[in-house]
Structure 1
């Protein structure tokens, strides 16, 4: 068979594939082929990039909202105190949310409330409840001790008596709807209830006492004492004289459950709205703007109860589950923090 004749003057060469960037070869990286990613990779990259961008945008806006409210109170930290002046101090009430631990409430306070207080040079004291009813019992016991005339035994030299308090009022910052319900019940129990526990409310049975164990880590805690009075007994009690500091309810939406994952993701990507709302509430406390108690304030942030686990919402007894009942003689002297309309932006 005859072979085709070669054309004079032309040399046939085969194309040599590119070996890639020599710098990449020196690093031991493989040569990447120039082609579009597959459909699955495209969906994955778009999802990850979109979610990352949404998180970064939300956190940046949340920080901007927090800086806005910090800027409104920062001038207070620059004002000097006189030698006998005491810095302003507020009380913060925390309680473990239904179905979770106290650590979640602490993180919520540290992320949203604490930065505003620090910016305004406001000191605080934490009152925590690890279980349902502990906040109610702590507040009621504090009021009962005040009614008995039990003062501060640590002031041995009378320094606190000689010192001058800050001109702004104190405050009770209550974090979460569940803590707010306990706070109101403890307030009524302390003001309207007796100074000593009734016989039915004491723990006298030896079987109910905690058995001493060698291992302290496994030692059981005493149950939370029962309330001295019930809401049905409010009207038949005589209120005691007790001054309550202005109150601020800080929102604490806390959603649990696997089936609620879409809503949890939505809230996770909208922290900026919560930061702005809590920043506004905390700023009202730092600046000392409050109003008188209004009808319906006991139902503030009522929608948070919809987030609680269904098994807890089905219960009919307990500080978290019973409807809040207030006595007009008690709430007529209460005050709630609120910023004026011209300071909302």
Structure 2
């Protein structure tokens, strides 16, 4: 009896066998051990979850692409420019621009492509570039308006004191004007033998309602803040850059510290504690002391290098007006005369202020302690894909557009700030960073802004 039980256990340990299976050449069937079963089960569940989420993402993007594909099949005359979407992309704090570009390439660009729309991308690798770009566009509109209505072209002249005769000074570089007016269609392309198109019509200039013209997408909370700040700066700020901040505040502060025989590191620490932006300060090396003529020369040299570097980077300009000055600044005549709809005089397209705005948050967690939450988000990426694709489709179809609610709409995408690293926010507060400063607006500007309805709009109904 004991020997039969032992034989049965030995047979069971070797696996399952059957004469019929042996006749067909199938070896003994044996299940893996417990540890191997656990390993393969976990691996299968992990890979299956990834594959399922990736598949759902592709299906969601494909579904929304198919829903707007009919728009690209509409005929468009050769003298017409299609609708254009302006996309502002900013990287998450303490992260690379590639993180935001992945969202653009995977979920936004395919839908715009299948809809047959044109788009312009403005990328930011430094804080303030988007704000400067938006403000410069509006300032240029204001300058063009003043030149057309108030400005009179003047010819410089030289007056001879003896004869009291004036001689006009002509442009010493007439080739520049020829280059600006030169059209390559006159010598190449199909227009060499055929009459060229004299007037190009922008589709965005035709709708009576400016909300149906173009569109703006801000990818990231930082891009959204800079875009709103750029609108206020362009409309309320001066046309020319005011006196630099460092000339008014930094020089007296440094002079006071120099009298106290302070080191360079102590100067930086003192300025960090003040409300002056640290990025606008240039101090000598840490091992240098600020005393005597040599130290003063080092400060001046570093300041000159800093100013020269900022001049070379024409993409970024300091603020022309602070948010605290919005309410005290009147709207100038060149703006009031163009309202309620300000258009580009060259194209007839309403400026970005009037075009519908869509803000898309870019979730990005970093740090060791956030690994569990990052894993959960990784397996639920399809929900974020659905949210982004649906919002972009609404923008393309020009529905679900509503007026800007001030100040509640300043909180659009505020959930993204919960992912910002705390040490980065703390450092930004010390440096007076634009992204962590109080986000303010003026109703005289926001009354002309329209945005895409968010999820909480439908929940409130």
Question: If the length of structure 1 is used for normalisation, what is the TM-score?
Answer: 0.79
Aligned position for 2:435: 320
Match of 2:125 in 1: 130
**2:116 partner SS:** coil
- State whether residues 91 and 220 of structure 2, in contact with CA within 8 Å, keep that contact through their aligned partners in structure 1: no
Q: What is aligned with 2:395? A: 285
Unpaired runs of 5+ in structure 2?
A: 1-13, 15-25, 148-178, 186-195, 207-211, 247-279, 281-299, 336-341, 343-350
Partner residue, 1:162:
199
Residue among 353, 357, 361 paired with 1:251 = 361
Task: Decide whether the 8 Å contact of 1:96 with 1:131 is kept in 2.
Answer: no
Name the CA shift for 1:161/1:324 in 2 (closer, same or farther; >3 Å). farther
Superposed CA deviations along residues 37-62 of structure 1, whole A, max 9, x for unmatched, are 23332222111110111111111222
Q: Which of residues 312, 319, 337 in structure 2 aligns to 1:227?
A: 319
Give the Å deviation of 1:161.
7.9
Matched residue of 2:77: which SS? Answer: coil
Q: Conserved in 2, the CA contact under 8 Å of 1:293 and 1:332?
A: yes
Query: Pairwise mapping of residues 1-345 of structure 1 onto structure 2 (< 5 A)?
Result: 34-149=29-144, 162-166=199-203, 167=206, 168-201=212-245, 205-210=303-308, 224-239=316-331, 241=335, 242=342, 243=351, 244=353, 245-289=355-399, 290-295=401-406, 296-314=408-426, 315-316=428-429, 317-338=432-453
**Number of aligned pairs?**
304
Q: What displacement does 1:254 show?
A: 1.4
Q: Deviation per CA, 1:247-292, whole angstroms, max 9, x where unpaired?
A: 1112211111121011111111111111111111111221122221
Specify whether residues 94 and 161 from structure 1 end up closer, same or farther in structure 2 by C-alpha distance, changes over 3 A only: farther
- Residues 193-225 of structure 1: CA deviation (Å, up to 9, x unaligned): 1111111248894142457xxxxxxxx968943
Contact kept? 1:251, 1:301, Cα under 8 Å: yes
Please report the RMSD computed on the Cα atoms of aligned residues, expressed in angstroms. 3.1
1:307-327 deviation digits (Å, cap 9, x = unpaired): 011112223222211131110
Q: Which deviates the most, 72-81 or 39-48?
A: 39-48
Give the Cα–Cα distance (whole angstroms) in 1 for the partners of residues 86 and 59 of structure 2: 27
Q: How far apart, CA to CA, are the structure 2 residues paired with 1:282 and 1:155?
A: 38
1:162 alignment partner, SS class: coil
State the shift of 1:238 in Å: 2.2
Sort the Cα spacing of 1:154 and 1:35 in 2 relative to 1 into closer, same or farther, 3 A: farther
What's 1:14 paired with? none
Aligned CA distance change for structure 1 residues 186 and 201 (closer, same or farther; 3 Å): farther
For 2:287, the equivalent position in structure 1 comes to none
Compare 35-44 and 48-57 and name the one that shifted more: 35-44
- Matched position secondary structure for 1:173: strand
Deviation at 1:84, TM superposition (A): 1.7
